[in-house]
Chain A
Amino acid sequence: MAVNEAIPSQFRKGVVELAILALLHDGEAYGAEIVDTLGDHPGLAISAGTAYPLLSRLKKSGLITSVWRESPSGPPRKYYRLSIDGDEAFGSMAKAWVDIRDAMDSLLRGGSRP
């Protein structure tokens, strides 16, 4: 894989996980809803083929849980929400993200050397 392809992939891997946690921090959501909501943000848009493995991984790591709920239209839907651990992890990751973002902004502006 070319470097210019690999770097965005590595970026997205971690960032999209945090984005999903952020989305679920606002309230529970079902799979298609998560895909659609992230799709509203061009830099975070992912396909269902990417979303479900990510959700599965977050669930295996205990950061989110899922529950079936009746749907107002159609068959029941599986909703995802943050677990207690996920809520804590989201807080830490959000803080880390702000630190990283600030540091990166500083570096990208050319202020790497104090």
Chain B
Amino acid sequence: MTDGDVSAAIETYFARFRLAVLASGAHVDDAMVADLRAHVVDRVGGTGSLADVTGVLAELGTPQALAIEVAAAGPPDDGTSRRTGIRSHGRLLGVPYDLRAPSSGREARRWWDPLDRHILVPKSWGIGWSVNVGALAVRTGAVRPDDEDVPFGAAPPRTVAATLAAPVAVLAAVATLAAVTWRRLPPTVPTRWSLSGEVADHGRRGSTVLGLLGLAAVPTAMAASVHARRSPALDRVAASAESLLLATTALSVLAQTVHTTRGRSGVWPLWLGRGASAALPFALLVAVSRVGRTAEQRRDLSTLSMNGPAA
């Protein structure tokens, strides 16, 4: 038995450990690996045999087990790219950012997470915050944090599918209003208003109306694609709610444009629309959550009534 055999056994162990770390996707820095190696060498001692090394390495467990243990003990993955060293998400000067590719699942969890008490949460993509409607619903007493085991998971599939009808209906309203009023709209139309109701900006009729149709149609089409992919119920309902917000916003701006071009004063269509664009998605999400809660209750309470009260 030689010192070379002892060193080779240690080197082999840590080579396998590094491979296991890479395979797990965890981040383990070189200094920590060096500390672990020093620990092994220290325990083996200067005159240690191969059997001593084997014993010490056995205490650490297999390289794979050690990799899992070290990853669990370390800090959580902060999204830092191994290649560029740039964090894909985090905070800069206190402002959250997320540069990861958008996903319907992450977006849905930002929209509806009643277990998170924070109403303002980092956006799922981009810079800044968005509203966690789930937290708002809990604060207002509309739902309880643990009303559902899985958000919207117990809601009947047809209820989940039916949520798409809401943005589609508003999109239809935008298209109808645009078609009915198109001929009467002047070539240049108001597009922005001050708080006092004064027109603050104008745009061309074609680009304005098409832009508003797009604001309603594109998110609705994206929500339809989330539904078509048979995504989890949470993703589908949240996609319906988000597209409902944008479609309602488009409808309110178009209604205000028509209102102003007819010579009428005030910005009540805009304010009414803003209120609706906040209230309707909230109502949609809360309603589906309550349907899910009722389904869970019906399941559990009917089981109990069949089996008798639990001990």
Q: Which residues of A contact B (CB under 8 A)?
A: 28, 31, 47-49, 52-53, 55-56, 59, 66-70, 76, 78
B115 near A68 with CB under 8 A, answer no
Q: List 23 A–B pairs whose Cβ atoms lie within 8 Å, in order of A's numbering.
A: A28-B310, A31-B146, A48-B117, A49-B117, A52-B146, A53-B115, A53-B116, A56-B115, A59-B149, A66-B146, A67-B310, A68-B297, A68-B299, A68-B300, A69-B300, A69-B301, A69-B304, A70-B301, A76-B297, A76-B301, A78-B144, A78-B146, A78-B147
- B141-167, CB < 8 A from A: 144-147, 149
Q: How far is the CB of B136 from chain A (nearest CB, A)?
A: 14
- Residues in chain B near residue A78, CB distance under 8 A: 144, 146-147
**Which residue on chain A has the smallest CB distance to residue B305?**
A70
Contact with A along B92-114 (1 / 0, CB 8 A): 00000000000000000000001
Q: Residue B296 at the A interface, CB < 8 A?
A: yes
Contact with A along B2-46 (1 / 0, CB 8 A): 000000000000000000000000000000000000000000000
**Which residue on chain B has the smallest CB distance to residue A52?**
B145
Cα distance A81–B114 in the bound complex, in angstroms = 21
Cα distance A70–B309 in the bound complex, in angstroms = 10
Contact with A along B275-301 (1 / 0, CB 8 A): 000000000000000000000110111
**Which residue on chain A has the smallest CB distance to residue B299?**
A68
Q: How far is the CB of A12 from chain B (nearest CB, A)?
A: 16
Q: Which residues of B contact A (CB under 8 A)?
A: 114-117, 144-147, 149, 296-297, 299-301, 304, 310
**Which residue on chain A has the smallest CB distance to residue B117?**
A49
- Residues in chain B near residue A56, CB distance under 8 A: 115, 146
A55-B117 contact given A68-B296, A69-B304, CB 8 Å threshold: no
Q: How far is the CB of A3 from chain B (nearest CB, A)?
A: 14
A55 near B146 with CB under 8 A, answer yes
Cα distance A53–B109 in the bound complex, in angstroms = 14
- Residues in chain A near residue B116, CB distance under 8 A: 49, 53
Known: A56-B115, A69-B310. 15 other contacts (CB 8 A): A47-B117, A48-B145, A52-B146, A53-B115, A55-B146, A59-B149, A66-B146, A66-B149, A67-B300, A67-B304, A68-B296, A68-B300, A69-B301, A70-B301, A78-B146
Q: How far is the CB of B212 from chain A (nearest CB, A)?
A: 39
With most chain B CB atoms within 10 A of its CB, the pick from A31, A59, A68, A69 is A68
Cα distance A28–B116 in the bound complex, in angstroms = 24
**Which residue on chain B has the smallest CB distance to residue A75?**
B297
- Residues in chain A near residue B300, CB distance under 8 A: 67-69
A68 near B146 with CB under 8 A, answer no
**Which residue on chain B has the smallest CB distance to residue A79?**
B310
- Residues in chain A near residue B146, CB distance under 8 A: 31, 52, 55-56, 66, 78
Cα distance A32–B14 in the bound complex, in angstroms = 49
